[in-house]
Amino acid sequence: MMPANPTPPIPALFLDRMARLLGEEYAAFAAALEGQPVSGLRVNTLKLTPEEFQKISPIPLGERVEWCEAAFSLTPMLGASPGPSALSSTERGQAGTSPEGGGGIEPGKHPYHMAGLYYLQDPSAMAPAELLDPQPGERVLDLAAAPGGKTTALAALMQGRGLLVANEIKDKRVGHLAVNVERWGAGNVVITNENPERLADHFGPFFDRVLVDAPCSGEGMFRKDMGARRDWSEEMVAGCAIRQRNILRVAAKLVRPGGYLLYSTCTFAPEEDEQVISTLLDEFPEYEVWPLEGFPGFMRGRPDWMEQNKKLKARETLSGAVRLFPQRVNGEGHFACMLKRSEEADGVSGWNPDRLESPSNVQERLWLAFAGEVLKTGFEADRLRVRGERLYFIPENMPGFGNLRVVHPGVWLGTFKKERFEPAHPLALFLQPGQVQNVLDLSSTEEGVRSGRRRPPLQAYLGGESLPAEGTPGWTLVSVDGWPLGWGKRVQGVVKNHYPRGWQIY
């Protein structure tokens, strides 16, 4: 009897092409495609160091990822979960909310994950943010940001300083992006839901660095993404290449003179990789390939794999790109190429200063009353802004966004209600241990549910239940092993649960 959902085979036309391109290396490549998918864990260095996480990790960690100092490989995933095609490369590379492996623990449902201590991601998908190498204080744009793997990595590399705009054009994906950014606790991220053309029209050549992790055919994810296998066709590859060229043309207009543009995919197709870059170089002579640092196992770009009859500019410079193959590295397939814009390039930035409203006198009084009673840390007054009834802590030197669709203009601190201020969940995850007056700390190691017993407090809290706990009345930070997790409000010996309904996992 045939299984209900048989595993689709890897497309024969794809394998024929790769055999032709790889030559003697093809046998190792084909064998790797039949192996186990690889997953990884990247530590949130805004909260703790990789070495500190090693000491408390509930998940068996493998070797450090060579191209990402904050990351570890995990035990192989036990199975590949199906997924939609034409996703961004990091979306395909994300380990998901509950990858298998990790010694029987679901890493995506552990309380440390809910506290934002780590992000689950294919190690190869960690490469683009590392290669872009954003610096603290810079202006950076992640043009196709969902579900947030690249954005969280960029925010950590920037140490939470400067401006990071995380944009997602798809309405259905922007919510997932917002959740991951909020969990990460970065103070320099603005989330937008716009098409790239509107961003280019508004900002012009404004950003120091731009990352384009382009939607692609997903060939590099064939080990774990059965949907990519089913959807693949030569026509799909050609269609993705057209789409990628259009996105890259717009991205090129957003980079300041002297700035950098990194293009990445999770496909092996030269039509979606070197040829897309070659077309951009023909159309934008102010750009040049900026050679990327290679790591052990990385293959250089392969301009010799492009169509021979295609008109090319600086063909040999495309070897400055990098390719990641599963037979060479402990990860899935990826491509990345860095472009630098000439210092002499023309362009005038069209941005204006931030014009969000400052808190009114009444709102300032409510905020200060809350902060004085609840917090043990301060927030710079010149970075507090109001949108509607919400109070935000915006990035430093934030520009105006005009009529662009902004989901969150920074860290959502809370909401002004009638004669009171109510803290928001992102504020809890932005705070560091020791920055709140009243804390209810729960243990991650308390025994699980047993028949006839009340659920352990941590499970109960993450499931939306209130907790009996004597102490000072008022807003209380609920933490796990000392790490901020969410809010509760203590009333008559009971901490009423304010953990967001959409985040509850038990």
Question: Annotated catalytic sites, by residue?
Answer: 266
SS3 for 479?
Answer: strand
For 27, residues 6+ apart whose C-beta sits below 8 A from its C-beta are none
Q: Rounded to an integer, what distance in angstroms lies between the CA atom of residue 105 and that of residue 444?
A: 13
Closest CA to 334 of 446, 222, 416: 222
d(CA 145, CA 149): 8
Three-state secondary structure along 130-148? HHHCCCCCCEEEECCCCCC
Q: Is 447 exposed, middle or buried (0-12, 13-18, 19+ CB in 10 A)?
A: exposed
Q: Whole-angstrom Cα distance, residue 338 to residue 357? A: 38
CB-CB contact of 183 with 116 (8 Å): yes
Q: 94 is written with which tokens? A: 């994300």
Q: What is the DSSP letter of 426?
A: H
Q: Let me know if 76 is exposed, middle or buried by CB neighbors in 10 A (0-12, 13-18, 19+).
A: middle
Q: How far apart are CA 175 and CA 60, in angstroms?
A: 30
> Is the C-alpha dihedral spanning 63, 67, 69, 70 positive or negative?
negative
